[in-house]
Amino acid sequence: MDFQQVFGKPPETQAKAPGRVNLLGEHTDYYDCFVLPTAIPQCTTVQLGFSSDGQHHFYSENLNEQVNILDINHTPSGFASYIFGCIEVLQKAGYIIPSLCVYVKSSVPMGSGLSSSAALEVATLRALRQLLNLPIDDVEIAQFAQQAEIQYAGVQCGIMDQMASSLADTEHILFLDTRTLERRVMPLPNNAEILVIDSGVPRTLASSGYNQRRAECEEAARSLGVKALRDITDVNVTKALTQPLQRRAHHVVTENNRVLEVLQGVTSERFGELMNASHASLRDDYEVSVPALDKLVEILQKTEGVFGARLTGAGFGGASVALVRSRQSKGIATHVLEQYNQAGYNGRILVPSLGLSDAA
């Protein structure tokens, strides 16, 4: 069904936002650190119209689910919580938001670590900006989106996903300082392109160890007397901590240093080595990988034409990202998936998207 069929009239406006994949700087954005995301081709589209009955009505094409907001004092669950959160944070900021009909369709894979939630939030806020002529810029959209996810979806996320969805493109890497929001657009490494493969193991942020890891690192920062682990550059300082805080802090500090090394300029080969080191750190220090992801990354790292590979996103399932030689990603993906699926898993290629429309 389309907007007309669901709500009985055409939409007033629509907006899109992409998912993202993070190349380096994983699980560090909520410690004020540096990150290197890029946008992916898959997008979320949000269509808006005015509601005539004084209530909000949200419909997801992917889920074939409609949610009617009868009580604005009660946050809905599922996909509706993100849309409702975007509306509420704008109202708290002083903007008047009328009752709306909202139609969502998306080609961003859910549960794969490619930020389908941020794409939904940013697309919703872009559509609201267009519909109501709101004076908010792209950085403010990212900030509102982050607050919507924290306050209404219950995920204590950093700003990276929303900034990437709001500001990044598929041709460049976005270097972002999550403390100051200073950013720089950088080219992909020479003779390289991005390959993303889904492990076939879904994960949900709120029910995973995400919030626990964040609490552990905040405790580590307090123990070390700093505002955030971003303020530590010498990894030896973390040795003063007890376990598991030492391992968590070790990951954050070394990951931050890996991003800063890329900022100085590295070859594709060195970028890949840093990605490999990042995965080992996420697996051993931050403990957010799972056997399926480790197997997928191992196969990628051993495949000719792959500079480096790692899990991407929150972990506990989801996708891997690899930096591979230009124009070789589809052949590499076919080879890797054959080995991975023979090991009993069910992976699939996500980027480059095969015959998938950005507006799907």
In this model, does residue 130 exceed pLDDT 60? yes
- Would you call 336 helix, strand, or coil by DSSP? helix
Q: What is the pLDDT of residue 354?
A: 56
221-237 average pLDDT score: 96
Domain match, 121 and 258 both: no
The pLDDT tens digits for 49-71 are 999 999 999 999 999 999 999 87
Domain match, 209 and 179 both: no
CA distance 106 to 257: 35
Residue 110: band (very low, low, confident or very high) from pLDDT cuts 50, 70, 90? confident
**Count of CB atoms within 10 A of residue 54's CB?**
7
Q: Is residue 358 part of a domain?
A: no
The pLDDT tens digits for 176-217 are 999 999 999 999 999 999 999 999 988 755 456 877 898 999
Residue 313: band (very low, low, confident or very high) from pLDDT cuts 50, 70, 90? confident
Q: Is residue 140 part of a domain?
A: yes
Domain match, 146 and 50 both: yes
Domain match, 164 and 276 both: no
Domain match, 176 and 226 both: no
**Residue with more model confidence, 171 or 353:** 171
CA distance 291 to 208: 16
Domain match, 108 and 197 both: no
Q: Is residue 166 part of a domain?
A: yes
Q: Is residue 266 part of a domain?
A: yes
Domain match, 55 and 134 both: yes
Largest pairwise CA distance in the chain? 63
Domain match, 205 and 89 both: no
In this model, does residue 308 exceed pLDDT 70? yes
- Contact, 165 vs 138, CB < 8 A? no
Domain match, 220 and 129 both: no
338-360 average pLDDT score: 78
- Would you call 81 helix, strand, or coil by DSSP? helix
- Would you call 263 helix, strand, or coil by DSSP? helix
Q: What is the pLDDT of residue 358?
A: 37
Q: What is the mean pLDDT of the chain?
A: 93
Q: Is residue 360 part of a domain?
A: no
Q: What is the pLDDT of residue 359?
A: 36
Q: What is the pLDDT of residue 158?
A: 85
> Helix (H) and strand (E) counts for the chain?
10, 11
Q: What residue numbers bound the domain in which 263 lies?
A: 189-351
Domain match, 223 and 148 both: no
Q: Is residue 283 part of a domain?
A: yes
Domain match, 168 and 140 both: yes
End of a domain among 186, 211, 245? 186
Catalytic residue positions, numbered: 161
Q: What is the pLDDT of residue 321?
A: 97
DSSP 28: -
Domain match, 204 and 153 both: no
End of a domain among 167, 186, 205? 186
Which CATH number is 230's domain given?
Answer: 3.30.70.890
- Would you call 222 helix, strand, or coil by DSSP? helix
Q: Is residue 302 part of a domain?
A: yes
CA distance 91 to 100: 14
DSSP 355: S
End of a domain among 186, 221, 243? 186
pTM of the predicted model as reported, rounded to 2 decimal places = 0.90
Q: What's the structural domain count of the chain?
A: 2
Q: Is residue 24 part of a domain?
A: yes
Which CATH number is 78's domain given?
Answer: 3.30.230.10
In this model, does residue 360 exceed pLDDT 50? no
102-121 average pLDDT score: 91
